Chain A
Amino acid sequence: MRPVPRTLELFYDVLSPYSWLGFEVLCRYQNIWNINLQLRPSFIGGIMKDSGNKAPALVPRKGQYMANDLKLLRQHIQVPIQFPKDFFSVILEKGSLSAMRFLTAVNLEHPEMLENVSRELWMRIWSRVSAGLWKSSGRALDDFLTFPRHVFKVMILPSPGGSTVSQSHPSPMFSSFQDEDITQPQSILAAAEKAGMSAEQAQGLLEKSSTSKVKNQLKETTEAACRYGAFGLPITVAHVDGQTHMIFGSDRMELLAYLLGEKWMGPVPPAMNARL
């Protein structure tokens, strides 16, 4: 009989780029390691407030470092992450409350869709590549990041009145986003539909997002992260042999493997190792 899978709780917020990186690495390993990955949508604003910490980008050199770091990690971890042009207004001022409430609603009603919808929301803020095409094509990340400039220019023209997805472009391969705003309902709905949800489903969940049930659930999840000692996100909580380990960031996955007694094969493990 196979040993009981170890539970890993990943607390994350789509506002957090390193949350996306940690998420993708753990999603890759969930079919390789003997783990039960539980996604926990959380609100990073609440964690910052409760811990007395501040967003790293408020220290100018940290913001600069993050921009360079993400450029390198994009290649190394093979996730199409890019620093949005209007980082400060999208990220720091508008915040992620509606998006994380939406994901909380998804988790309550359609947990099997949580991974895909979370990914689409990250794509909207932190990428110019469509998640569906990236994941389903199986192609190397370079193919998406080095597309011809003239195609890119056509695709990202914003339409009057706000940023929307450009549907008419010569290339059949891409649909791209212009650092989409995740605070607008239409934007959240678009992400949900990209993830495979019907418009009705998505609308229903959006409505549920403002109920006390969902608001309280997000609050509880965020408080749980705080009780584990979070001062930021992502945090991975590993339950191993009666012990609980809280690991911060997306750069301790090799240490996590060590704690689980599992093999670390880098951030892009070979797919053929996947357990069927």
Chain B
Amino acid sequence: MRPVPRTLELFYDVLSPYSWLGFEVLCRYQNIWNINLQLRPSFIGGIMKDSGNKAPALVPRKGQYMANDLKLLRQHIQVPIQFPKDFFSVILEKGSLSAMRFLTAVNLEHPEMLENVSRELWMRIWSRAAEKAGMSAEQAQGLLEKSSTSKVKNQLKETTEAACRYGAFGLPITVAHVDGQTHMIFGSDRMELLAYLLGEKWMGPVPPAMNARL
């Protein structure tokens, strides 16, 4: 009998480029490693406020570094991520509350669509290669309406608070439940460490598909 899959919770926000990178790597490994990947749409604004942290781009050199870093990681991790021209107005001023409420609604009503819709939202902000997520206009409209209900607002609030209780000061965080222990790992650049904790093999950010478990 195969061992029980380990639960990995990925807390993310589509405002966060590194959330996208972590998301794609974990999505690739969910059919390779013995894991149960649970996506947790969260609100990074709430986490920043609660932890007393600030967005990295507010330190000019960090913003500059991020732009270069994402250029390199695009090639290395093979994700079509690009720093948007109007980063500050799109990202920092408009924020992600509606998008994350929308994803929360998707997770409540159509969890099987959460991965695709999340990816589509990232594509819209962080890429020029946006595709359709496969949702009908009616479905999307219905979910948009549900997004402003207290049920969805509260769910997003609870998920964000859960991330804070795990010690988040930003996103993404991956929470790995392994052999009765809980490890919170920040960022998209600790996946090799995560593999080590899971006792799994790290095959780089773009693992060969033929290793995929059928």
Binding site for B on A (CB under 8 A): 51-53, 59-62, 64-65, 68-69, 72-73, 75-76, 229-231, 245-246, 248-249, 251-252, 254-255, 258-259, 264, 266-267
**Pairwise interchain contact B62-A231, C-beta atoms closer than 8 A:** yes
**Pairwise interchain contact B169-A72, C-beta atoms closer than 8 A:** no
**Pairwise interchain contact B186-A65, C-beta atoms closer than 8 A:** yes
Flag B57-96 by CB within 8 Å of A: 1 or 0 each: 0011110110011001101100000000000000000000
**Pairwise interchain contact A68-B184, C-beta atoms closer than 8 A:** yes
Contacts of A75 in B (CB 8 A): 196
**Pairwise interchain contact A52-B60, C-beta atoms closer than 8 A:** yes
**Pairwise interchain contact A231-B59, C-beta atoms closer than 8 A:** yes
B 178-192 contacts with A by CB, 8 A: 183-184, 186-187, 189-190, 192
**Pairwise interchain contact A51-B184, C-beta atoms closer than 8 A:** no
- Of chain B, the residue at the smallest CB distance from A52 is B59
Q: Which of B61, B65, B192 makes the CB contact (< 8 A) with A266?
A: B192
Contacts of A252 in B (CB 8 A): 189
| B51 within 8 Å of A (CB atoms) | yes
Chosen A-B contacts, 30 in total, with CB atoms closer than 8 Å, are: A51-B59, A51-B60, A52-B60, A52-B61, A53-B61, A59-B51, A59-B169, A60-B51, A60-B52, A61-B51, A61-B52, A61-B53, A61-B169, A62-B51, A62-B169, A64-B167, A65-B186, A68-B183, A75-B196, A76-B192, A229-B65, A229-B68, A231-B59, A246-B65, A248-B65, A248-B69, A249-B189, A252-B189, A254-B205, A266-B192
Contacts of B60 in A (CB 8 A): 51-52
Q: Smallest distance from the beta carbon of A37 to chain B beta carbons, Å?
A: 20
The complex places the Cα of A248 from the Cα of B65 at a distance, in Å, of 8
Which of B65, B187, B197 counts the most chain A CB atoms within 10 A? B65
| B168 within 8 Å of A (CB atoms) | yes
| Residues of chain B at interface, number, CB under 8 A | 31
Contacts of B169 in A (CB 8 A): 59, 61-62, 65
Contacts of A72 in B (CB 8 A): 183, 193, 197
Contacts of A51 in B (CB 8 A): 59-62
The complex places the Cα of A209 from the Cα of B192 at a distance, in Å, of 40
Q: Which of B59, B76, B193, B202 makes the CB contact (< 8 A) with A73?
A: B193
Flag B154-191 by CB within 8 Å of A: 1 or 0 each: 00000000000001110000000000000110110110
| B204 within 8 Å of A (CB atoms) | yes
Q: Smallest distance from the beta carbon of B106 to chain A beta carbons, Å?
A: 28
Q: Smallest distance from the beta carbon of A211 to chain B beta carbons, Å?
A: 31
Contacts of B73 in A (CB 8 A): 255
The complex places the Cα of A51 from the Cα of B56 at a distance, in Å, of 12
Q: A51-B60, A68-B167, A258-B75 are in contact. List 5 more A-B contacts (CB 8 A).
A: A61-B52, A61-B168, A64-B167, A231-B65, A246-B65
A251 in contact with B190 given A62-B53, A246-B68 (CB within 8 Å): yes
Q: Which of B64, B65, B167 makes the CB contact (< 8 A) with A61?
A: B167
Q: Smallest distance from the beta carbon of B57 to chain A beta carbons, Å?
A: 11
Contacts of B187 in A (CB 8 A): 251
The complex places the Cα of A79 from the Cα of B184 at a distance, in Å, of 21
A259 in contact with B72 given A52-B60, A61-B167, A62-B169 (CB within 8 Å): yes
The complex places the Cα of A258 from the Cα of B69 at a distance, in Å, of 13
The complex places the Cα of A266 from the Cα of B179 at a distance, in Å, of 24
User: Which 10 pairs between the two chains have the least Cβ-Cβ distance?
Assistant: A231-B61, A61-B169, A251-B189, A61-B51, A51-B61, A53-B59, A59-B53, A76-B196, A258-B76, A231-B62
**Pairwise interchain contact B72-A245, C-beta atoms closer than 8 A:** yes
Contacts of A259 in B (CB 8 A): 72
- Of chain A, the residue at the smallest CB distance from B66 is A248
The complex places the Cα of A61 from the Cα of B170 at a distance, in Å, of 10
**Pairwise interchain contact B184-A65, C-beta atoms closer than 8 A:** yes
**Pairwise interchain contact B64-A229, C-beta atoms closer than 8 A:** yes
Q: Smallest distance from the beta carbon of B47 to chain A beta carbons, Å?
A: 9
The complex places the Cα of A204 from the Cα of B157 at a distance, in Å, of 61
Contacts of B197 in A (CB 8 A): 72
